[in-house]
Structure 1
Amino acid sequence: MAEPILQVRDLVKHFPLTRGILFKRQVGAVRAVDGVSFDLHRGETLGIVGESGCGKSTVAKLLMNLERPTSGQILYKGEDITRLSGRALKAVRRNIQMVFQDPYTSLNPRMTVGDIIGEPFEIHPEAAPKGSRRQKVRELLDVVGLNPEYINRYPHQFSGGQRQRIGIARGLALNPEIIICDEPVSALDVSVQAQVINLMERLQNEFDLAYLFIAHDLSIVRHISDRVGVMYLGRIAEIGTDAEIYDRPTHPYTQALLSAVPQPDPEARDTRERILLSGDVPSPANPPSGCRFRTRCWKAQDRCAEETPLLAVPEALAKAEDGAAHASACHFAEVKDVVHAA
């Protein structure tokens, strides 16, 4: 396989907790991201799923350098972008763009569509000559399925799906190689979600884009992703191809997630095993020792509290040929049949 276009190694982001008004002192830290590693290849879609608060959006901000990591590396074409600033960082950001979650707040209501999509050209004037920018914006509107004549309209004159198309057009303006999609369809109706997802797939094939796709909806992630990473409390619990994760999950947390997916078939609904987790998600300011999931896991043993499991292919499953041989951060990883998202 070709060299990854983006490599994330042991990425950590801790937000300090302070006490006091005049004389502040740090009394702890929120471990939002605590040792995340993955690769992203050109033209690939890597889906990231997990419950609210697990660190998905923080990872997206770190990749965009909107937040500085506490430690770890983000290698874009072999160069660590966490060490960049000024012009060097600006040049990298041209190739890594973002589509935000809320199409209602991510667009400036005082700017026309033409100004919103054309704004990247003001920051990177080398991307388009000044005289041709208007035409370039019209072409981008056409690419995302909007009428180029809408160039002088304002965001409030569009529906939610149309606004997200405007956000996608803005992300495409500089011809990036990577687009980070932070729950881009979660605020849209189901029918509109399908339109936006199909649009993103078409654009990926047309422009050879790599997507990091963050979402809650397991069905959407499976539909668009080549590989899927499951996050829990700041770490990746399991990662593999979409078929490996959905058909042959080995981590208990992934199995519990998939068992919670609504099942439209009444017969299958009555026969499947529902995995109910006990307790609440621990605070990221005070995570459990060892395995982060052990306080809610039915397999937990003393080893889970003493030793942090590595994200690697379990030794017992290394020779499996049915899709079970993929990375899982569990001491007792094993395949369990669950009803997967269709």
Structure 2
Amino acid sequence: MAESETILQVENLVKHFPIRQGILFKSKVGEVKAVDGVSFELKRGETLGIVGESGCGKSTLAKLLMRLETPTAGRAKLNGRDIYKMGGSELRRLRRNVQMVMQDPYTSLNPRMTVGDIIGEPYEIHPEAAPKGDRQRRVRELLDLVGLNPEHINRYPHQFSGGQRQRIGIARALALRPEVIVCDEPVSALDVSIQAQVINLLEKLQDEFGLSYIFIAHDLSVVRHISDRVGVMYLGKIVELGTEDEIYARPTHPYTQALLSAVPVPDPEARAHREVIRLEGDVPSPANPPSGCRFRTRCWKAQEKCAVEEPLLVLRPAADPHPSACHFAEQRHVVA
């Protein structure tokens, strides 16, 4: 069970990428609003799932939390300290404390390095984390921890399967004993049977080391399995935030309901009686999002108020006591 202490606090995080035109003198003609006012808290030992369509800003959010991108506005506090104001030794400590598991296990590992060098590389960057003579033993322990043979320490990435490569990536993320791991679609490139093994490994490691996860994915069933709370993103904003039960059993935002209605159901009888919500139109461009509610151009509930007034992500007791960014939020049973 997640503890009550907040380890990561994100407040109104914004990242806009400029659009420029011209050959010699490039002028700014617009902005891509990749992340546009995201706020949430992550508790110690908790897994927060982030779901949404491709292009909604999930991966940009991950890069912001890793401080691989600098935000246009907003802040993120790790253990009470704003990560965007850190520098020098404090920034080095942040790098140790927040690690990442990449999406593609085939391109995230250097093919010219052995597994031992890949997992041990963090010790070269942060030598204080492990004495030089002790590093090979640490690497072997990490390989064993993620379910790989320590005797394979001198093998190269191409000698492993996709699932094994992702285990190597997880071992590398664990090397510095971080408190937070950002998982950017870590199982989307794997077979379904291997996905389950990797998810179970992540849960086992979380229990053993008290890790906190930001788990980004577009597969709703995977997110449901691993997450304590879930945030649903649409066009750079979180439109609904709640516990796993609140989001899946009692969704209140029309976009969440539409996503859940698209989840495959293995039971033919249940599938025949389920209502499928089909959204009209295309996803708007993040360079020119609709006024008011960003989902209104595809929403069957949209009214004049939606075009004028942007709905805030707040508690709406009339619908359900969890935050939803919809003027007309109401419960709707979609999946079991």
Q: State TM-score, norm by structure 2.
A: 0.98
Q: For 1:278-303, what per-residue CA distance to the aligned partner results, in whole angstroms no more than 9, with x for missing partners? A: 00000000000111100000000111
Q: For 1:67-114, what per-residue CA distance to the aligned partner results, in whole angstroms no more than 9, with x for missing partners? A: 000000000011111122332211111000000000000000000000
Counterpart residue type for residue 268 of structure 1: A
Q: Relative to structure 2, which stretch is displaced further, 261-270 or 173-182? A: 261-270
How far 1:126 sits from its partner (Å)? 0.6
Matches within 5 A, 1:1-342: 2-317=4-319, 324-340=320-336
- In 2, distance between residues paired with 1:337 and 1:127? 49
Counterpart residue type for residue 326 of structure 1: H
- In 2, distance between residues paired with 1:100 and 1:130? 27
- In 2, distance between residues paired with 1:327 and 1:139? 42
Q: For 1:198-251, what per-residue CA distance to the aligned partner results, in whole angstroms no more than 9, with x for missing partners? A: 000000000000000001111110000000000000000101000000000000
Name the SS for the 1:2 alignment partner: coil
Q: Relative to structure 2, which stretch is displaced further, 28-37 or 85-94? A: 85-94
Q: For 1:136-187, what per-residue CA distance to the aligned partner results, in whole angstroms no more than 9, with x for missing partners? A: 0000000000000010000000000000000000000000000000000000
Counterpart residue type for residue 96 of structure 1: V
Q: For 1:227-276, what per-residue CA distance to the aligned partner results, in whole angstroms no more than 9, with x for missing partners? A: 00000000001010000000000000000000011111111111111100
- In 2, distance between residues paired with 1:105 and 1:266? 38
Name the SS for the 2:225 alignment partner: helix
Name the SS for the 1:75 alignment partner: strand
- In 2, distance between residues paired with 1:223 and 1:272? 22
Q: Relative to structure 2, which stretch is displaced further, 259-268 or 199-208? A: 259-268
How far 1:316 sits from its partner (Å)? 1.7
Name the SS for the 1:176 alignment partner: coil
- In 1, distance between residues paired with 2:291 and 2:318? 24
Q: For 1:315-342, what per-residue CA distance to the aligned partner results, in whole angstroms no more than 9, with x for missing partners? A: 423xxxxxx31100000000011124xx
How many residues matched?
334
- In 2, distance between residues paired with 1:81 and 1:263? 42
Aligned to 1:321: none
Name the SS for the 2:310 alignment partner: coil
Kindly report structure 1 stretches of 4+ aligned residues shifted beyond 2 Å.
none
- In 1, distance between residues paired with 2:46 and 2:190? 24
Q: Which runs of 5+ in 1 are unaligned?
A: 318-323
Counterpart residue type for residue 336 of structure 1: R
Name the SS for the 1:300 alignment partner: coil
Counterpart residue type for residue 121 of structure 2: E
How far 1:2 sits from its partner (Å)? 2.9
Aligned to 1:320: none
Name the SS for the 1:108 alignment partner: coil
- In 2, distance between residues paired with 1:334 and 1:254? 11
Q: State TM-score, norm by structure 1.
A: 0.97
Name the SS for the 1:205 alignment partner: helix
Counterpart residue type for residue 87 of structure 2: S
- In 2, distance between residues paired with 1:64 and 1:128? 22
* RMSD (Å), alpha carbons: 0.8
Counterpart residue type for residue 211 of structure 1: Y
Counterpart residue type for residue 82 of structure 2: D
